[in-house]
Amino acid sequence: MANYPASFMDALPNSGPVDLLGTLSIAPAAQSAARTNLLLVTAPADTAQTASVEVSSVFYNLAATRTYATGALALQREYRIAAPTYAFVGASTITLAATVSISGAPIAGTNATITNSYALHIVSGRVRFDGAVVQNVYPVLQTTGTIASPVTTINTPAGVTVIASAATSVTVTCAACTTATLITAVILNATSNNVSIRAVIPGSGSFVVHVTGDPGVSTAIIGVRISQPGTGV
């Protein structure tokens, strides 16, 4: 760490917390030999932690209010990562490169049960992807109703409803639905009478699924997927 100023070195004790006041800029000199991590944070295997108290190994508290002089601001990003460029002396291939990589979701250790484990959790707010999104497994959608227990109120991205025997449609309550909502529907069971989806009509606060005829004593179990159109911003 000889390249760092003495003022920074003096601020680092051998152990215990460190408070750094003011800005911190880290810009190591370029190396012509093999380099290790520019920044490595290794979490300790703590024990005897206080019960029922969350401990975040890394916490960026950006909750302060920043006040600007009056004037429009076209773009403001609080946490930015610029993509690296990889080059070789001769022709070479990187099979998979990622600017950000997460190894997986939290793992349940000894005596631990994790009810819901996520590799990435966005608590609130819209998420925007300007590039293509590649999914290597089927998406999991929150679903209301099941084939065994269909419902007539669906306020989740997917759901299961039913068209009764002798009926040719079902009206489903959907609080967020409008006449512009996009809804797809499929029949999930082998109906007594041969029917198919005729139309799905969205409306304000509900939508109607129509089939081509009476499904018979089997009823028609209908799976739906609901999405909202938008401008992409």
Residue 9 has pLDDT above 90, yes or no: no
Query: Which comes out higher in pLDDT, residue 18 or 90?
Result: 90
pLDDT of residue 6: 67
Measured CA to CA, the distance from residue 159 to residue 226 in angstroms comes to: 8
Listed in sequence order, the residues at least 6 apart from 199 whose beta carbon sits closer than 8 Å to its beta carbon are: 208, 209, 210
pLDDT, mean of residues 142-148: 97
- Average pLDDT for 5-22: 67
Tokens 């401990």, residue located: 55
| Closest to 223 measured CA to CA, from 141, 165, 167, 139 | 141
Question: Is the pLDDT higher at 164 or at 29?
Answer: 164
State pLDDT tens for residues 36-54. Answer: 888 888 999 999 999 999 9
Report the pLDDT value the prediction gives residue 228, as an integer from 0 to 100.
Answer: 92
Q: How many whole angstroms separate alpha carbon 226 and alpha carbon 97?
A: 34
Q: What is the pLDDT of residue 14?
A: 63
What is the predicted pLDDT for the residue at 1? 45
Bridge partners, 185 (sequence order)? 224
Separation between Cα atoms, residue 19 and residue 62, nearest integer Å:
16
What is the reported pLDDT for 26?
A: 79
Least confident of 12-16, 72-76, 115-119, 192-196: 12-16
For the segment 69-83, the average pLDDT, to the nearest whole number, is 96
Query: pTM value?
Result: 0.80
Element containing residue 132 per DSSP (H, E): none
The 3-state DSSP class for residue 10 equals helix
The answer to whether 220 and 172 are in contact (CB under 8 A) is no
Percent above pLDDT 90 for the chain: 80
pLDDT at 230: 84
In total, the chain counts a number of residues equal to 233
Q: What is the model's pLDDT at position 175? A: 97
pLDDT at position 57: 93
Percentage of the chain lying above the pLDDT 70 cut:
92
Looking at residue 2, its pLDDT comes to 47
Residue 35: the pLDDT is: 78
At residue 7, the pLDDT reads: 64
Residue 147, both tokens: 């084939």
